[in-house]
Structure 1
Amino acid sequence: MQTLSRQKPTYPPPYDGAHYEVAEGVGHQLVNLVQLMRREVESRMVRHDLTDAQWKPLWLLKSGRAATAIELAREACTDAGAVTRMVDRLEDKGLIERVRSETDRRVVHLRLTPAGEAAAAHIPHVLAAVNNDLLRGFSEREWKQLCRLIERMTANAQALQTPEGNA
């Protein structure tokens, strides 16, 4: 089986190292787009009294992707110490509470308080609005095509992370 790095594209590769312009690279353009999206999301979350460091864990808890500080750290790709400080701030703000597990006293679950539930309810609306604003002028077909293309690039990147892809 051929690895991704050895597969030849069916067309000439779009980039040539001898004439490569960083600003024209897809990766650079995607990073710029993500930075712009993050700034816009952050500015809109401020209206709901949430910082970037606060809305993400609230959403991870609300969506069920995390239930403990360790899971938050894993999902947010950050260290446990930073998560502990953030959880302390969210608890001080009355948005989450720590609940010791009844089956394993070493485990502390994180739960949204009613105020946390109310704050988390705004998050998907802000995220949807930012995405919709950035997709303004796209047809449904173009939007779906963009999603498919990004999925393909993601799959290519993930394949590079496997031992076979690095061969």
Structure 2
Amino acid sequence: MNSSAPTPPRSDAPRFYDGSEYVKDNSVGFLMKVALAVLVRNLEHQLQALELTGTQWHPLLHVHLGCDTVAACAREMQTDAGAMTRMLDRLEAKGLLVRERSSSDRRVVNLALSPRGAEVAAQIPHMLSEVLNEHLRGFSPEEFKQLLDLLRRFIANGEALGEANKAGPGPHLMVQERDPEQNDDSNPS
């Protein structure tokens, strides 16, 4: 068997979709993409109050949460270093971020929030939580926990398929079991 050929479906895998009857409006992938697009639109609208665009709040939050190099932020945000550098240029121009070359390795650029950047970044998780809570309006605590569990299982199945197909590295996601009572919903993507 060719190593680049897709792995055939397991015989015990459920068959929820049939290619001859595929309807995009019932596609889990399509619905997740639409859900993410609506969430991002609402987040961006809310974060305009901090004078941040959609491409600015995300890296600012990652630096706030501990990403201290350009490379680490690029990995965390699943983007390339060049795109990350352009995003960070804008944050630095706004006075929210400070970059400094490492004294021990000139290839490494260290990141830190300016005092103003720290103040702005500290507000982001609260605004994200408000928008996420609005999207979850009407969900019971049990449904919220179930949604998280189902998404984690969906991701784990996809990771297993990627490994079986030797698909190469995908996005590095920190998917862990969490207690929904901790209300850890600060990272939408």
Bin of the TM-score, shorter chain as denominator length: 0.7 to 0.9
What residue identity is the alignment partner of 1:5? P
**Whole-angstrom CA distance in 2 between matches of 1:130 and 1:137:** 14
What is the alpha-carbon root mean square deviation over aligned residues? Answer: 1.9
- SS of 1:98's partner is strand
Distance 1:7 1:118, change over 3 A: farther
Question: In the alignment, which residue of structure 1 is the partner of 2:27?
Answer: 25
**Whole-angstrom CA distance in 2 between matches of 1:165 and 1:141:** 36
2:61 is matched with which residue: 51, 59, 62?
Answer: 59
**Whole-angstrom CA distance in 1 between matches of 2:46 and 2:154:** 29
Unaligned runs of 5+ in 1: none
What residue identity is the alignment partner of 2:36? V
TM alignment of 1:145-160, pairs within 5 A: 145-160=146-161
> Percent identity over the alignment?
45
Matched, 1:69 2:70: yes
Question: In the alignment, which residue of structure 2 is the partner of 1:86?
Answer: 87
**Whole-angstrom CA distance in 2 between matches of 1:77 and 1:155:** 18
Aligned residues: 161
- Give the number of the structure whose alpha-carbon radius of gyration is greater: 1
Unaligned runs of 5+ in 2: 1-6, 168-189
**TM-score scaled to structure 2, two decimals?**
0.78
Distance 1:13 1:106, change over 3 A: closer
Question: In the alignment, which residue of structure 2 is the partner of 1:118?
Answer: 119
Q: Is the 8 A contact 1:98 1:108 kept in 2?
A: yes
Structure with bigger helix share is 1
What residue identity is the alignment partner of 2:43? V
**Whole-angstrom CA distance in 2 between matches of 1:133 and 1:74:** 29
In the TM superposition, what is the alpha-carbon distance from 1:84 to its structure 2 partner? 1.7
What residue identity is the alignment partner of 2:163? T
